[in-house]
Structure 1
Amino acid sequence: MEGNVSLSWLGKKPKITTGVTWGIPWEKGMLNKKDPLELVDANNVGIPLQSWPTAFWPDGSVKWTAHAVSLKDEVNTERLQIKKGNITKEMDPLKLEDGSDSIYINTGKVSCQVNKKGDTVIGEVYYGDNLVCQGGYLKGIRESKNKTDGIVTWKQEEFYSEIKNVVVEQDGPIRAVVKITGRHKIYTDKREWLPFTLRLYFYTGQTSIKAVHTFLYDGNPHKDFIKGIGIDFKIPMNGPLYNRHIRFAGDTGMFSESPKGMLTWRTSGRYEELYKEQMAGRSIEFDSEDHHFVELLDDSATWNNFKLVQISADSYTISKQTREEFAWIRAVSGKRAGGLAYVGSETGGIAVAVRNFWKKQPSSLEVKQLSEQTSTLSAWFWSPDAPSMDLRHYDSETHVKSSYEGAEEFRSTPYGIGNTSEITIDLFNSTPEQELLQTLVEEKESPPLLVCHPAHYHDTKALGVWSLKDDSTPIKANIEKALDEVLQFYLDEVEQRGWYGFWDYGDVMHSYDPIRHVWKYDLGGCAWQNTELAPNYWLWYMFLRSGREDIFRFAEAMTRHTSEVDVYHLGEYAGLGSRHNVVHWGCGCKEARIGAAGLHKIYYYLTADERIGDIMDEVVNADYTTEHLDPMRAYYTKDHFPTHVRSGPDWAAFCSNWLTKWERYEDTNFRDKMLTGINCLKKMPHRLLTGPVFGYEPRTGELKFMGNENWGHHLMMSMGGAQVWMEMVEVLEDVEWKDMLVEFGEFYNLSNEEKSQRTSGAIQGDKPWGSSMLSSSLVAYAAANKKDAELAKQAWQYLLVDSTHWQIKTPLKAEKTSDYVKPVVEVKSMSTNTASQWSLNLIVCLELIDQYLESAMLDDEKS
């Protein structure tokens, strides 16, 4: 691998000046910590660059770097390249002053005050000398339910942000990041709840601010209903009402109005032309000859309040109101709004855009007091015009036998789950053209990102074992076509099934019901996927090997959802996640595998997203949580061990967390914890074949012998275990650990007689070892390392020939049915478990044993 790294845009290059942050992997030993890097364009002209390491190889060389640039109009961004060398072009750095009460950031275009205490998070914001925002704060509405003498009453209370801590995470020169944490406060009863994190991002020379907002739910779902949650901005209004403007992004264009529109029953001639100018956002001036028309304007209604409510993924309404005590008048309705609102007057204004606005409905944008000195623009992540959030479980009991729910224990609780929303705040010194606002809608939905060529990601070996796309032979071409077909089915299914919503967007369903023509949305363990059988790895590897933007956005949405909603960030289950269920937090099984860092880290390294970094830090001690919530509590009584874990998926998930922590921070304590577990396995009677249930000591990481075949083995590798274990071989360079994986892959599919013979009767196949297809990655690993053609043939047959082992047959048998509420195209046999693991194992096998593919298939045809 050369030291220079070529970059391209994910999808289209940005249409406007923008700040961009992205990540790059490096081959082991290629980049030292002190090596400077520069960014150059096609003419080898340097572009100011800010760089920092995000992960390290065991030898101390840099594994991943993150980079930030602020791109201006004059920069040629068609062909960019990172290479070693000093920055050759001077920059105008942003300025950050960290004071006792506030932080001041100046990008050279806009300046922003971030408060360190109180309820107003953002203070004054200036565009040049113009004050365009007087403050921003988080807010919401709590709806509580009370029942007295059989009568149910509802009470609504507003809550606001209360700042607890503010940290400058990055201080330029190109990019600055400020992290604000706190809790929301209900002033009526002085209650503090809903912890929040708000990150603000600034780039030198830019007039926009990016914000990432996260809140955690810490209420009682039977009493604490969130009626609305969002963020408010106070905007100074100057000049006459007819020179004040509002914009809402609709399906394809802008809703444009003013609190004092120039339409009257006598608007014609010159005034009609002025009316057009007004709707275009230009300031209007009248002279003395216009006094009769001005009198008409004075007499016309003043529209003070406007709102756009996206009540479902397919319906929004824009309405307006003169004053609060009067009716809302519907202006227009549509299907999917762009999620942007602009408010401004003669001295400028702001546009606020919410990403995934209609996909994470119910959401809304609201503007009030347009005729006053200060207007309020509210971005509601959950709209108060919709019914309040209902985070209760779907039933009063579990249904383990009938619905494949995980445990008899009723542990369905949303206490500790989170949700993250992204917004952009664009500042203007005059009302922008509608075309520019529409561009902002497009850019916030697909934020500009620089990416490497798939071969670069692959050749660095920085993300485990996976293959590049290869259609060089007919058999390989058919496999690639099949992989694309299965993935495309899910890309299409998101839209066909409407897998959208504030708490659902990003996840997919688990199992299909061909009788009702629906996914099993109401069948406990068969509804939402919740990372079961590692679809995150599948999607990210499909992106890495293709570079396709649509796959990236699909994987991104899944990462954002599964890392927040499916995992507990506080409370008794902190660091664990909920197994698949009708509601994401519904299953009584709370396990570390759901939120393993490896599921999320690819997104982190590609984007340097700080929120994902937080989450990966949170789960690093998930093994301690198992001490009071034993993963095997239903099968093993409390004994002298602190807890019991399976080598997979429990210990494998711990290793995923520790490996990520070690490579990010070079904290050898977590490397040593992995090595402790490996050394314990080395001493077991049959190494990794032992167990897979062990006694476990979280303080040391020790696994304690409890017997052979004491549980099934299929979960050991199918929940991401194979991925993290193979990656551990590369970074730990432990020869015996590698040999243990080879032994496991070779042993897994032996007959019961052979298992018994090899282990002197200790392992007889009494407990199920599971589907052979699920083992194919480790079978391939064994075949590749032993250069064993017969083993390789077995792996390929499990995937492509033997239909008794969770296979997907392509081309998919898609059938159209009208025997449902609407016509749908269905694949009746589809299972996301199978799709994830079949695709993932194919990707691994193409990397490890592709040289045996042709002969294996030829031998099958002969037989």
Structure 2
Amino acid sequence: MSNKVNVYWLDQKPVVNRGVTWGIPWEKGHLKKTDSLTLTDNHDAEIPLQTWPTAYWPDGSVKWTAHAVSLMDDRLSETYQVKKGLAIIPENPLTVEKSDESIQINTGHLIYKVNTSGEQIISQVHNGEQLVCEGGYLKGIKESFTDTDGVVTTRQEAFYSDINSAIVEQSGPVRAVVKITGRHKVVSDQRKWLPFTLRLYFYAGQYTMRAVHTFIYDGNPHQDFIKGIGIDFRIPMQGPLYNRYVRFGGDEGFFRESPKGMLTWRTKGHYETLYQDQMEGKPIHFLEEDQAFVNLLDDAATWENYKLVQQSADSYAISKQTKHGCSWVHAVSGNRANGVAYIGSESGGMTIGARNFWQKYPSSFEVKELAKQTSTLSTWFWSPDVPSMDMRHYDTETHVKSSYEGAEEFRSTPYGVANTNEITVGFYSSTPDQKELRSFVREKESPALLVCEPTYYHRTSALGVWSVKDASTPTKAKLEQALDEVVQYYMNEVEQRGWYGFWNYGDVMHSYDPIRHVWKYDLGGCAWQNTELAPNYWLWYMFLRSGRDDIFRFAEAMTRHTSEVDVYHIGEYAGLGSRHNVVHWGCGCKEARIGAAGLHKIYYYLTADERIGDIMDEVVNADYTTEHIPPMRAYFPKDHFPTHVRSGPDWAAFCSNWLTRWERYEDTSFRDKMLTGINSLKNMPYRLLTGPVFGYEPRTGDLMFFGNENHGHHLIMSMGGAQVWMELAEVLEDPEWLEMLAEFGAFYNLPADEKAKRTDGAITGDKPWGTSMLSSTLVAFAAAYKQDPQLAKEAWQYLLEDDTHWQIKSPLKLNKTNDYVKPISEAKNISTNTASQWSLNVIVCMELIEQYLEPAMQENTTLANKY
């Protein structure tokens, strides 16, 4: 391995000073825990670097590291190098001071005071001696409804953050992280609800602070409606009203006004020039001879309050108000606001940027009391200017037979699901111009990230089995084209179908209805995909093998959604998730496979995102939850076993959680729990072929024999089980486990009589083993292990020749139609199950058996004609 690792910008180099955090994998044995790392730029100049480990190999060497830098304009390079060596300390390192009441962070540019209790999150922000922020609060509005003889009345109650704890997770010298947890307190009755986590991120020398806000819904969806939820900042105002400013980002430019605009019916000549200066944020200074015009300004209306409301993904409106109790005056409408707002005065002000502002509508900004000594800038993640959240199920019953819903049990509940939102706050000594604001928009929307070359990620073997993009032969080029077409189709569908919204953004739909020309948004288990058949793995491997920034952002949005909305973080189903449904939490099947840590960990290792780290910690004991909600309860009654689980996807999901815990913390108790399960399988009559349902003891990890062919086998691999088990094979280096995986792959597609012959009649093939395409990864694994050309050719056949719906062909056949509410392009037979699994299996087969692809094509004219 090279002595240095090259990193480059994910999309393009930042245009402003920026704090950056990213992750790097290392080959086993290369980096010791005692090794230090340093960073150099294109000119071999050293840059202050903060480093910490995020995962370890079984031999104790470092598997992943995370890094933080604070880059200034003059240190922004196209590429950087990370290598062994002692990192230098910043000239003005970030410092953190703690007391019982507060945590003080000094970035060298700004001083933040964060409270450790009470309602107020941030009590003060200073720029030198100047107070630039008087406080920050989480806040919201709860709404309830009463129906009396058909007359519906509503009641709204305010709630605010109530801090339970504030801890320093990192304390510099480059980066500091403060984690604040608590619940929201309703003002009227002091009820505490909606647990929250707020992380604040600081970098040495930077004028911005990033915040990641998460809340968990713990109400009754029939009674507790959230009318609004967001965060407030209070900003001191100085100077005359005509030297105060508000800015809202629109589609392209910015809405620019002042509470006391220079426009009067006598704004002409010299005053027009001053008016232009005011719009540009330049302080106005009047002379004695301007008194008559100043008198006109005194008479003019004072606009104290402003708001921008993004009502849908394609519509926002800006309005303003002179004072409370007066009408709101419409100013302008647009399509997609860029998610940035600014307020300030002669002494400067504050900008706030909400990431995915229009994508996660309904969101809004609100400015209050801009004419007072202190003004408030609010960011609403859910705007109170639209109807409240409706978390109820779409029906009062389930529709298993007609609509592919998972269980007759009605278990649709949002209790325990979460939502995470990101903001960036910047402080300015003067009103920023439009160029500065556009730079702010870009950086908050696509945070700067350093990444490695795909070949480097691949060489480290730190993320399982996948292939680097390879178009070196006509057949491979055709497959690569097909892979690109499929992922591009889904990225286009997000826009074409409007897959946006507070609870939806990041997800895609399950299957398509070519008659109505829509995805089956209203058909039970065919609507939102959630993590069914592991689209997360597909997208992350597509990024790793290509380095494409658009795929990264697509996968990032899916990771943020599926890790929060589709999984339960507290309550009866903690650690489990809901499979596909019209409502994300609607399916009665609550299973560990939906929230397996492996679905999210690639994002975690690439970015060191602490919230994803929390979520992976949450699911580590998901197997215990299956005691009171057994995944096989519809098929097997309660008996002497604590619960029943399948080797896949249930136990495979547990392994995903435990493997991640083991490598992150070197927690050998979870390694041992995996080994207990593996040893249980080794002692089964037919090892991994047994089952797939077993009795299970969560306290020990023991799998207990429960018969052969007692359920279908297709989900064993298709929910990420193959990815987890192959990664286990790499880290455990257990010859028998390797042999068991190969045995399973070679056995899966055998004819029923051959299955019976090899198992003395114990496995007859009477129960379905599933679709052959789903097995191609482990068939390829078996072919590579056994060096069996025939198995390899079969694996390619399952992917490329099978004419069932489990196949993607290139070019992807698109049909344009006007037989819908708008002209669209559609792939009539597409399904996300197909797209994700076909793509994922091709990616793995290109790694394990690519040398057999061309021979398979030469021997099979049908394949050759298709590809």
- TM-score band w.r.t. shorter chain: over 0.9
Report what 1:197 is aligned to: 197
Work out whether 1:59 is the aligned partner of 2:59.
yes
Q: Which amino acid aligns with 1:58?
A: P
Q: CA deviation at 1:90?
A: 4.9
Report what 1:289 is aligned to: 289
- The answer to whether the 8 Å contact 2:308/2:317 transfers is yes
**Which shifted more, 226-235 or 75-84?**
75-84
- The answer to whether the 8 Å contact 2:805/2:834 transfers is no
Q: CA deviation at 1:165?
A: 0.5
Work out whether 1:577 is the aligned partner of 2:577.
yes
Work out whether 1:544 is the aligned partner of 2:544.
yes
Work out whether 1:247 is the aligned partner of 2:247.
yes
- Alignment partner of 2:125: what SS? strand
Distance 1:113 1:805 in 2: 58
Distance 2:3 2:529 in 1: 40
Distance 1:183 1:517 in 2: 44
- The answer to whether the 8 Å contact 2:478/2:810 transfers is no
Q: CA deviation at 1:802?
A: 1.8
**Which shifted more, 643-652 or 72-81?**
72-81
Report what 2:3 is aligned to: 3
Q: CA deviation at 1:152?
A: 2.5
Distance 1:348 1:125 in 2: 13
* Aligned residue runs from structure 1 range 269-284, under 5 A: 269-284=269-284
Q: Which amino acid aligns with 1:337?
A: A
Report what 2:746 is aligned to: 746
Work out whether 1:758 is the aligned partner of 2:788.
no
Q: CA deviation at 1:530?
A: 0.6
- Alignment partner of 1:391: what SS? coil
- The answer to whether the 8 Å contact 1:46/1:88 transfers is yes
- The answer to whether the 8 Å contact 1:180/1:199 transfers is yes
- Alignment partner of 1:854: what SS? helix
Work out whether 1:477 is the aligned partner of 2:480.
no
Distance 2:417 2:508 in 1: 18
Unaligned runs of 5+ in 2: none
Report what 1:357 is aligned to: 357
Work out whether 1:780 is the aligned partner of 2:785.
no
Work out whether 1:167 is the aligned partner of 2:167.
yes
Q: Which amino acid aligns with 1:291?
A: Q
Report what 1:436 is aligned to: 436
Report what 1:145 is aligned to: 145
Report what 1:657 is aligned to: 657
Work out whether 1:22 is the aligned partner of 2:13.
no
- Alignment partner of 1:6: what SS? strand
Report what 1:563 is aligned to: 563
Q: Which amino acid aligns with 1:343?
A: I
Work out whether 1:331 is the aligned partner of 2:335.
no
Work out whether 1:97 is the aligned partner of 2:85.
no
Report what 1:849 is aligned to: 849
Report what 1:688 is aligned to: 688
* Aligned residue runs from structure 1 range 23-172, under 5 A: 23-88=23-88, 90-172=90-172
- Alignment partner of 1:74: what SS? helix
- Alignment partner of 1:439: what SS? helix
Distance 1:182 1:647 in 2: 38
Distance 1:275 1:862 in 2: 73
Report what 2:526 is aligned to: 526
Instruction: Note closer, same or farther for the CA distance 1:272–1:552 as it changes in structure 2 (3 Å cut).
Output: same
Q: CA deviation at 1:621?
A: 0.2
**TM-score for the superposition, normalised by structure 2:** 0.99
Q: CA deviation at 1:463?
A: 0.1
Distance 1:183 1:554 in 2: 31
Report what 1:670 is aligned to: 670
**TM-score for the superposition, normalised by structure 1:** 0.99
Q: CA deviation at 1:429?
A: 1.3
Distance 1:858 1:583 in 2: 47
**Which shifted more, 92-101 or 659-668?**
92-101
Distance 1:565 1:854 in 2: 43
Distance 1:813 1:46 in 2: 52
- The answer to whether the 8 Å contact 1:350/1:425 transfers is yes
Distance 1:604 1:29 in 2: 22
Distance 2:91 2:634 in 1: 62
Report what 2:620 is aligned to: 620
Q: CA deviation at 1:805?
A: 6.3
- The answer to whether the 8 Å contact 1:196/1:213 transfers is yes
Distance 2:54 2:704 in 1: 34
Q: Which amino acid aligns with 2:346?
A: E
**Which shifted more, 232-241 or 797-806?**
797-806
Distance 1:106 1:488 in 2: 44
Distance 1:811 1:150 in 2: 56
Report what 2:594 is aligned to: 594
Work out whether 1:806 is the aligned partner of 2:838.
no
Distance 1:639 1:148 in 2: 48
Report what 1:770 is aligned to: 770
Q: Which amino acid aligns with 2:679?
A: N
Q: CA deviation at 1:135?
A: 0.1
- Alignment partner of 2:645: what SS? strand
Q: Which amino acid aligns with 1:848?
A: L
Q: CA deviation at 1:87?
A: 2.2
Deviation track 1:649-696 (CA, whole Å, cap 9, x = no partner) reads: 000000000000000000000000000000000000000000000000
- The answer to whether the 8 Å contact 1:146/1:223 transfers is no
* Aligned residue runs from structure 1 range 419-498, under 5 A: 419-498=419-498
- The answer to whether the 8 Å contact 2:90/2:173 transfers is no
Distance 2:72 2:304 in 1: 37
Distance 1:568 1:91 in 2: 45
- Alignment partner of 1:185: what SS? strand
Distance 2:732 2:625 in 1: 26
**Which shifted more, 425-434 or 299-308?**
425-434
Aligned length: 863
- The answer to whether the 8 Å contact 1:341/1:352 transfers is yes
Distance 2:344 2:705 in 1: 69
Distance 1:797 1:610 in 2: 42
Report what 1:375 is aligned to: 375
Q: Which amino acid aligns with 2:320?
A: K
Q: CA deviation at 1:76?
A: 4.1
- The answer to whether the 8 Å contact 1:808/1:834 transfers is yes
Instruction: Note closer, same or farther for the CA distance 1:635–1:581 as it changes in structure 2 (3 Å cut).
Output: same
- The answer to whether the 8 Å contact 2:49/2:89 transfers is no
Q: CA deviation at 1:287?
A: 1.6
Unaligned runs of 5+ in 1: none
Distance 1:67 1:449 in 2: 11
Q: CA deviation at 1:89?
A: 6.3
Distance 1:235 1:498 in 2: 36
- Alignment partner of 1:121: what SS? strand
- The answer to whether the 8 Å contact 1:504/1:561 transfers is yes
- Alignment partner of 2:74: what SS? coil
Q: Which amino acid aligns with 1:789?
A: P
- The answer to whether the 8 Å contact 1:42/1:76 transfers is no
- Alignment partner of 1:483: what SS? helix
Q: CA deviation at 1:808?
A: 1.4
- The answer to whether the 8 Å contact 1:254/1:438 transfers is no
